[in-house]
């Protein structure tokens, strides 16, 4: 796939995932059964998104963990854990 086609595909996939996420935020909008089915169906595009972005994820992660100091990495991970815990509330 050429670079411009891949970029367009990634943008279209991102827009689709954003719209699906916004739609799934309100079960009243879709009804609970459809909300649950759509939640399971959205799993597939998320996996496609991660696989299509895997090279970027790998390169960025390598860059962060090889150039950053261990304390900075620990701080970033701690902040992510804190935000995750807040989201669970």
Tell me the pLDDT tens digit for each residue of 29-71: 888 888 888 888 888 998 998 888 888 888 888 887 777 677 7
At 87 the pLDDT is 81
pTM above 0.75, yes or no: no
At 15 the pLDDT is 92
Q: Token pair of 70, please?
A: 């261990």
- Tell me which residue range forms the domain holding 18: 3-88
At 89 the pLDDT is 64
User: Alpha-carbon distance 21 to 5, whole Å?
Assistant: 24
At 68 the pLDDT is 63
């Amino acid at each position: 796939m050429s670079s411009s086609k891949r970029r367009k595909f990634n943008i279209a996939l991102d827009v689709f995932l954003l719209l699906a996420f916004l739609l799934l935020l309100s079960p009243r909008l879709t009804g609970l059964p459809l909300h649950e089915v759509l939640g399971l169906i959205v799993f597939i595009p998320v996996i496609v998104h991660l696989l299509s972005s895997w090279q970027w994820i790998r390169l960025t992660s390598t860059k962060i963990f090889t150039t950053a100091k261990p304390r900075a990495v620990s701080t970033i991970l701690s902040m992510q854990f804190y935000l995750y815990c807040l989201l669970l509330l």
